Structure 1
């Protein structure tokens, strides 16, 4: 066991573990977005469509936040960008708890999306900065493990807290975000790569236009977006489907906690399982399993059946997540890591905006079967796309490794 622990977690930089700790604490209180659709329809008595629009506004704000955060992470620095986003998100989380009117809630949710998601590019860029290439899949698996340990505990706790007072969800979420900001302020040092000089001139770092013209990267993001649109149904239409089948919010909390528990139990074994395997095949297989899991929601009508679907799509998520993060890192030029991570986060923000709106609309007009079978079809198409575009990504990743080595020598 000690040898396995050293292989899974040994030798990583000290700053990585501060990032990891902040992730765990923040996720232990990640209540609000998970239960927002239930809060809006159950406690505030909004319609499913109105709830979908509010969740969509969170995603729209997140889209702006990730793009802004990515640029600031490269220009301003990782640490100041993270601090601004984290303190702002904590304040807005409390504000949302006190909001009552529909448009007031909608406006605060939009701003919360900007700040809460704005931290992601800087955080991800800092992790790429401090973890060497050969350790990144392992580091991402550990961070993903922390995310889901916190998520599993938060889902159960939020389900119970919602039966007492929904305001507890907002207060605890704000508190854990504040603690994460304090960790950033005290323990994390700036890691933005310094400009190097050759023949007396600064090496050009490029800009957002460089990232937006990178067709290989953009195709990958488009394929990833397809999976994101499906995965994010777990926080929008899945709880609504379960409520329609007569299950409670607390039951949804227990069922969705299966996702976090399974990842906590098995995620640290994934790096060894996928080591040396073609990343395109891993991504394709993971996406297909995700599609199967969500597709089976169409026939689920009891708590244990919903839990089984969660088990299936979680297995796919466990394969896909570390491979996705490592692929984005491998495709990112050193001086544009913030922007590339911002565009990657943007795909999640777009998914956060579109998933509840599209999912809610399909659920309301087409019904369960159309929605969940459609989720399987979308994942199957994305899996084929991963296989076809994999060789081009492999060639680009090899070029980026050469650039990173050259930069290290010049520095």
Structure 2
């Protein structure tokens, strides 16, 4: 066991563990968004459509937050962006708990989305900065494990607090966010790579650079499709189970299998996939997820639904750390925040569209067609991962070489460039049209 623990968690940088601790503490109290719809409809007696608008405002704010956070991560730095987002989230979380009018809740949820999601690019970029390439799959597995462990604890704690007073949900959530912000303030140092002296040109790399990177965008497109599949477990799956005569409580323990499996087994994943081709690992993971969701077409009992959760969770456990590590390798250090922001945006967009598309198919074509379509999408995305894999590996290799070149001392520049006018050095490959 000691040997396994050393392999799973040993040798990682000290700053990574501060980030990991902040993630765990923050996730243990992250339950306001999960319970927000229930709070709005049952405690404040708003309609379902009004609750939907508030949740939608949070989603819109989140999309803006990830993009803005990505840009600020590269311009201001990781640490200041994280601190502003975390302290802002704590304040807005507490303010939302005292809001009573609909327009206050709408604006408050929008602002909360901007700040709460704005921290993600900075956090992810900082983790990539401090963890060497060879350890990133382990690091992302550990972080993913902490997220799910915290989520499991939050679900239990939130139920207890909601029975006492819904306001406690907001107070405790704000408190855990504040603790995370204080950890960032006291223990975490800036990690943004020092920009090499480069020639001054008009304009500089921005979000357009990310969207012109066809290798990266095609990878995100594949991820976006599979997010549409994964997120069905939060929208159409409970509807399908209810239609089969199963209670909401039954759905709760069936879906809890997902979190339990991740907490119990995620730390074994890095050893399992070590040395294997990443594109093949991703293809296999996505194929397993597609099969798991596809089998819901034949499910009718709680036990069968639980088996399907076991199957697609296995795929999720393989896919998540591999996917995060590959995003990190495809992100140039000087644009890492922007790349992580666009990656987060793809997940936010997929999460927002999944219930809309899934619900439409389920209503007009039936659950069986929905689940079989999920299986078909899994097969197509798996093939796409295999086909596009070589181009991604070439791009990752090119970036590794260019990053090494950036660490080589350069001759002093005759002119100090403005940050807005800095472009990557000539050695950094411009995204090609592959």
Q: Same fold (TM over 0.5)?
A: yes
Q: Taking structure 1 as reference, are residues 201 and 50 closer, same or farther at Cα in structure 2, changes over 3 Å only?
A: closer
Q: Which residue of 2 aligns with 1:75?
A: 75
Distance 1:144 1:333 in 2: 23
Q: Taking structure 1 as reference, are residues 92 and 219 closer, same or farther at Cα in structure 2, changes over 3 Å only?
A: same
Distance 2:368 2:166 in 1: 31
SS in 2 for 1:409: coil
Shift of 1:365: 4.5
Shift of 1:111: 2.3
Structure-to-structure mapping, 1:364-375, within 5 angstroms: 364-375=363-374
Q: Which residue of 2 aligns with 1:20?
A: 20
Shift of 1:409: 2.6
Q: CA RMSD in A?
A: 2.7
Q: Taking structure 1 as reference, are residues 78 and 67 closer, same or farther at Cα in structure 2, changes over 3 Å only?
A: same
SS in 2 for 1:197: coil
Distance 1:367 1:103 in 2: 37
Shift of 1:361: 3.9
Structure-to-structure mapping, 1:317-336, within 5 angstroms: 317-336=316-335
Q: Which residue of 2 aligns with 1:59?
A: 59
Q: Which residue of 1 aligns with 2:358?
A: 359
Asked whether the 8 Å contact 1:52–1:360 carries over to 2, the reply is no
Distance 1:126 1:43 in 2: 39
1:185 aligns with 2:170: no
Shift of 1:104: 4.6
Distance 1:250 1:166 in 2: 21
Distance 1:270 1:136 in 2: 12
Distance 2:241 2:163 in 1: 17
Distance 2:240 2:111 in 1: 28
Distance 2:368 2:291 in 1: 13
Distance 1:287 1:332 in 2: 22
Q: Taking structure 1 as reference, are residues 219 and 41 closer, same or farther at Cα in structure 2, changes over 3 Å only?
A: farther
Q: Taking structure 1 as reference, are residues 223 and 56 closer, same or farther at Cα in structure 2, changes over 3 Å only?
A: farther
1:264 aligns with 2:263: yes
Q: Which residue of 2 aligns with 1:226?
A: 225
Shift of 1:347: 0.7
Shift of 1:3: 1.2
So what's the TM-score if we normalise by structure 1? 0.90
Shift of 1:62: 1.3
Q: Taking structure 1 as reference, are residues 380 and 34 closer, same or farther at Cα in structure 2, changes over 3 Å only?
A: farther
Q: Taking structure 1 as reference, are residues 353 and 50 closer, same or farther at Cα in structure 2, changes over 3 Å only?
A: farther
1:397 aligns with 2:396: yes
Shift of 1:215: 0.4
Deviates more, 1:108-117 or 1:344-353: 108-117
Q: Which residue of 2 aligns with 1:88?
A: 88
Q: Taking structure 1 as reference, are residues 39 and 238 closer, same or farther at Cα in structure 2, changes over 3 Å only?
A: farther
Q: Which residue of 1 aligns with 2:417?
A: none
Asked whether the 8 Å contact 1:34–1:235 carries over to 2, the reply is no
Shift of 1:195: 1.2
SS in 2 for 1:7: helix
Deviations 1:63-116 (A, max 9, x none): 111110000000011111111111222233334444455555444333222111
Q: Which residue of 1 aligns with 2:415?
A: none
Shift of 1:369: 3.1
Asked whether the 8 Å contact 1:52–1:357 carries over to 2, the reply is no
Distance 1:378 1:46 in 2: 37
Shift of 1:154: 2.1
Deviates more, 1:39-48 or 1:217-226: 39-48
Distance 1:142 1:179 in 2: 20
Q: Kindly tell me the number of residue pairs found equivalent between the two proteins.
A: 409
Deviations 1:322-373 (A, max 9, x none): 0111111111111111111111111111123222333344444444334333
SS in 2 for 1:410: coil
Asked whether the 8 Å contact 1:159–1:250 carries over to 2, the reply is no
Q: Which residue of 2 aligns with 1:236?
A: 235
Gaps of 5+ in 2: 411-434
Gaps of 5+ in 1: none
Shift of 1:296: 3.1
1:377 aligns with 2:376: yes
Shift of 1:225: 0.7
Distance 2:235 2:99 in 1: 21
Q: Taking structure 1 as reference, are residues 54 and 312 closer, same or farther at Cα in structure 2, changes over 3 Å only?
A: farther
Shift of 1:211: 1.3
Q: Which residue of 1 aligns with 2:171?
A: 171
Q: Taking structure 1 as reference, are residues 206 and 279 closer, same or farther at Cα in structure 2, changes over 3 Å only?
A: same
Q: Which residue of 1 aligns with 2:349?
A: 350
Q: Which residue of 2 aligns with 1:119?
A: 119
Shift of 1:170: 3.2
Asked whether the 8 Å contact 1:48–1:360 carries over to 2, the reply is no
So what's the TM-score if we normalise by structure 2? 0.85
Shift of 1:307: 2.9
Shift of 1:44: 6.1
Q: Which has the larger radius of gyration?
A: 2
Q: Taking structure 1 as reference, are residues 251 and 177 closer, same or farther at Cα in structure 2, changes over 3 Å only?
A: farther
Shift of 1:42: 5.9
Distance 1:356 1:134 in 2: 37
